[in-house]
Structure 1
Amino acid sequence: MAKSVPNPVNSADDVPALPKLPKPLQSVDVDQPIPFKLTPAAEQLPRTWTFINRYNDQPITLTCMVGCTANHDRDMERAQYPEDIWCQTNGKDVMLPINVTGTSESYRVLRMTMNCIPFSSKMSERLPHVTIEMIDDHWIDGLDPDGLATVISTLSSQLDRLREAHATLIDVRAEYRRHAA
């Protein structure tokens, strides 16, 4: 008759419960506009102002895009090339430690600006558009609503994979600790 051997694997009751992952703050519906919080100064009506065209010394009156926080005082003080005039609203800076040279340094990531360059040679830049600084001085330029939705979808997919890796990492570390003890 076969002798009963105890199972060396711990029972499910011996495994500590894994912490629940936080739910995302909000899901992104790529078919809906993204809420863009305006600063208190930007909640006012768009500014209308005049500058002198440097090519012909003629005045040009311009109304900023809604939310523009650019300081146009210097643009009004002296003649400007029209293509150098632009409106901008900055997003919030986010910093992460990134190892580029063997030591972690703080880099700005996923910085967003909303821009409008009304006299640009590129027609797409004449309308409000978004530019994303993926990491210091590396940009995705001129995103219209569809382009921005594509970036959001791509980053969201990667974020989902990172959440999966997080859950796996918790499991692997717990198993490692059990065997190391």
Structure 2
Amino acid sequence: MNRVTATATAPSAIAEQSISATFHVEVMNDLESGQPMLIGSSDPSQGDLQVVTPDQVIAKAAEQYRIIAKAVRLALDYEAATKQAPTGPRRSWLIADNKTGMPLKGTCLEGCHGLHFEMTSGTADADDVVCINFDQANSTELPIGCGSTDGQDWATLSVLIKSYPVHPDEEKRIPHAAVEVTEDHYIEDLDDDGLAIVIDKLQQRVDGMRIRHAELVRVRHEHLGRQA
């Protein structure tokens, strides 16, 4: 039996809710014929215990996976709603625009990993200055090959949060996401266990992307609040 129960109580950003999933499968012998039977239930008290087919079990498993995924998302939403925003100082700088000579005053994106070489040179093109928050905590590498080449480890579905703090286009200054996707590359020769591993890793990436989505919502809100 696999059971997931989650209840969250947090500030008004997230409502109270509960998610449960029950999935019971067993093989037992019929008392009269001695023949094995496949038995299934999705009730916590097993009140609906009955003979089922393998197809019914597979269909019920898919339904339970969806419920479990909702429970995971609830946990991530709770984390995003209750997570304290970093309070440390962010880098600020004043440089000259290469094209106009006008001063450009910028403040780093929260969690920026950019090197900002323009801070040393003192000049840059306004549309080249970029802040990047890498997806370091939630990254996945998969052995992806192309054509006849052997698979190499590639970062898969990583999400960057970016901002161009002094860009002429105001929309570019607002934090936004960039998803790293590999094109025309395949993970090949997978047996059933290998495919299950890939599915698990992709699910981890989806969960990680949900975390990044919550972070993007927060940093955009903070950015727009500062602008206001």
TM-score, normalized by length of structure 2? Answer: 0.42
CA RMSD of aligned residues (A): 4.3
Aligned to 2:147: 101
| Count of aligned pairs between the two proteins | 126
Q: Which amino acid aligns with 1:94?
A: T
Aligned to 2:107: 63
Q: Which amino acid aligns with 1:64?
A: C
Shift of 1:135: 2.3
Q: Which amino acid aligns with 1:114?
A: I
Correspondent of 2:72 among 27, 43, 53: 27
5 Å-filtered alignment, 1:160-171, equals: none
Aligned residues of 2:159 and 2:178 also touching (Cα < 8 A): yes
- Structure 2 CA distance for partners of 1:59 and 1:129, relative to 1, 3 Å: same
Aligned to 1:177: none
1-side partners of 2:171 and 2:100: how far apart? 25
- Structure 2 CA distance for partners of 1:117 and 1:10, relative to 1, 3 Å: same
Aligned residue for 2:72, secondary structure, equals coil
Shift of 1:86: 1.1
Aligned to 1:117: 164
- Which sections of structure 2, spanning at least 5 residues, go unmatched? 1-32, 40-64, 186-202, 208-228
Aligned to 2:173: 126
TM-score, normalized by length of structure 1? Answer: 0.51
Aligned to 1:77: 121
2-side partners of 1:24 and 1:66: how far apart? 29
Residues 135-178 of structure 1: per-residue CA shift (max 9 Å, x gap): 2799xxxxxxxxxxxxx9xx58xxxxxxxxxxxxxxxxxxxxxx
Residues 2-60 of structure 1: per-residue CA shift (max 9 Å, x gap): xxxxx8x75449xxxxxxx8x6596225xx5974x99xxx8622111111110122332
- Which sections of structure 1, spanning at least 5 residues, go unmatched? 1-6, 14-20, 139-151, 157-181
Q: Which amino acid aligns with 2:145?
A: N
Aligned residues of 1:89 and 1:115 also touching (Cα < 8 A): yes
